Structure 1
Amino acid sequence: MSKQPIGIFDSGVGGTSIWKAIHGLLPTENTIYLADSINAPYGPKGKEAIIALSEKNTEHLLEQNSKLIVVACNTATTNAIGYLREKYNVPFIGIEPAIKPAALQTQTKAIGILATKGTLSSELFNNTSQLYNNGVTIVEQEGEGIVQLIEAGLIYSDQMTELLVNYLKPMIKSNIDYLVLGCTHYPYLIPQLSKILPKHIKIIDSGDAVANQTKLVLEKYNLVNNAKIKSDNFFYTNGKPKVMKTLLNNVYDVKYLKF
């Protein structure tokens, strides 16, 4: 069973940022990545729809004998991972904004969260925020329109720059010193964010934390693939394969799959 793949799904191409962190830490693990780009973003869809989409993605990955599933989507994690863990007999790794490290390290006592509507309005996010907002101002900003531009391959477009400037202005005025990226699409924006933000503001995403947790869970359930051979990594999307292939630096093939 250890040679079976790690299954990873996201509402689109953004979760490849999580895949990169996992593959970097666990290069011998076989992986299957599923991008439900046709339904991106999940945020505005409501909890029931998000659960249904997450269930559909999980079924596809289990059909490919995934030994563990990474929900590489903040919105799917905060709205559906509890349901998925109850229904399926396979370990799940979730992802949520890294509020804790930002809140513990801030010197200005103000941090910013850039996330989707579905994440910011979820019960899990609100519970986490309340744990760490004692004495810390958390400036929330919905990144409306960002995911759609990334899925269209318009990361470096004028529209993206305009959106980011408008979203970051209130955070900068609030004197944040940490910006937490609450969507797995957003790490691809770090070059632009770094140009807009003052240099003292640090950017945090959850990629390394998810990779470390994946490693711990594999070890816990004796699922580590110890084979010293090159891993097999498969990528599927129901959107535009070219966009994902570009984000993967054209190193990996991306197949279109209607699901």
Structure 2
Amino acid sequence: MLNKNAPIGVLDSGVGGLSVLKCLKELLPHEKFIYLGDTARTPYGPRSEKEVRQFVGEMLDYFETQGTKLVIVACNTLTVLGVDTLKGNHEFDIVGMSKGAKLVLNASNNKTIGVFATEFTINSGAHKAAIMALDTAATVVPKACPKFVPLIEGERFGSSEIADAVAEYAVPLKAAGVDTLILSCTHYPFIKKEIEREMGDKVRVIDPAEQTALDAQTVLRKAGLLSESSAGQTAICFTADLARGKRIASRMFEVASCEFRTVSLG
């Protein structure tokens, strides 16, 4: 039997999911959260699907030991693998990243939509399919951005490398005349301002993390699992580089009240 005052788990291969945790904390301030970033084994992109599934299984097993009532897969690449296939025998439900199809279609005037994502996510075609399923007249311009995650994980914020990478990846989107761009990787909101600056004020940049938080709230409400606690708590865990993780978290939200710890998996 799940406990409504139990914590919510949030997992990612690294620090990107902290952008999702920010939205969750803002929408559900009375909840307890445990964030787990597998920084010892990031990035997951070059690894085999079998290996990635093993790693996710280990993170879910960890959340089982913590008594979590719900787990958010705060990573588009992992969500593409299929949330239902990741659940296994765990009692808690799992919520994956929203593809943001409705968000971008509602925001777009010319129905020409850009997608920034990892190569794995772009190659899956999932986001393009989700948008086209809702509007067959839409034009989707996908662009893989392999330089972004290493630069963000390496804390190269404000650097010329990030500015150059953003400019490079923006070229085909500008040429196609997109008026809306969805950030389909949880790392990318860390450089949202740089992306907005490059794309210009006529292009709306969408972060699907907000919809993901709403999806989580809906699941909890339907299950009668919204917390009755008067105050929320947050524990942020990494499998390596705890100090770096804390620095990056501080760019997203106030960390003074958060507990930070290193955990071992496997």
TM-score (ref. length: structure 2) = 0.90
How many angstroms apart in 2 are the aligned matches of 1:124 and 1:162? 27
Paired position in structure 2 for 1:31: 33
What is the aligned counterpart of 1:44 among 43, 46, 52? 46
Aligned-pair distance for 1:86?
4.8
Between the aligned partners of 2:50 and 2:221, the Cα distance in structure 1 is 33
Instruction: State the match for 1:99 in structure 2.
Output: 101
Identical amino acids, percent of aligned pairs: 26
Kindly indicate which of the two structures has a greater share of residues assigned to helix. Answer: 1
Listed as ranges, the gaps of 5+ residues in structure 2 are none
Indicate if the aligned counterparts of 2:128 and 2:142 stay in contact, CA closer than 8 A.
no
In structure 1, distance between residues paired with 2:112 and 2:46: 27
Task: Specify the SS of the correspondent of 1:9.
Answer: strand
> What number of residue pairs does the alignment pair up?
258
Of the three residues 162, 165, 168, the one matched with 2:164 is 162
Equivalent in 139, 142, 150 of residue 144 of structure 2: 142
Matching of residue 12 in structure 1 with residue 14 in structure 2: yes
Alignment of 1:197-208 (within 5 A): 197-208=199-210
CA RMSD of aligned residues (A): 1.8
Question: When the two structures are superposed, what TM-score results if normalisation uses the length of structure 1?
Answer: 0.92
What is the aligned partner in structure 1 of residue 110 from structure 2?
108
- In the TM superposition, residue 104 of structure 1 has moved relative to its aligned partner by 4.2
| Secondary structure at the counterpart of residue 128 of structure 1 | helix
| SS of aligned partner of 1:107 | coil
Consecutive aligned runs of 4 or more in structure 1 exceeding 4 Å deviation? none
- CA deviations 1:28-61 (Å, max 9, x no partner) are 1111000012222323324323222211111111
Paired letter, 1:172: K
State the partner residue of 1:232.
233
2:174 aligned with 1:176, yes or no?
Answer: no
Amino acid at match of 2:138: V
Q: Is the 8 A contact 2:234 2:259 kept in 1?
A: no
For 1:117 and 1:210, the matched residues in 2 are separated by 21
- The AA in structure 2 aligned to 1:175 is G
**Distance in 1 of aligned mates of 2:137 and 2:236:** 43
Quick check: 1:12–1:35 contact (8 Å CA) kept in 2? yes
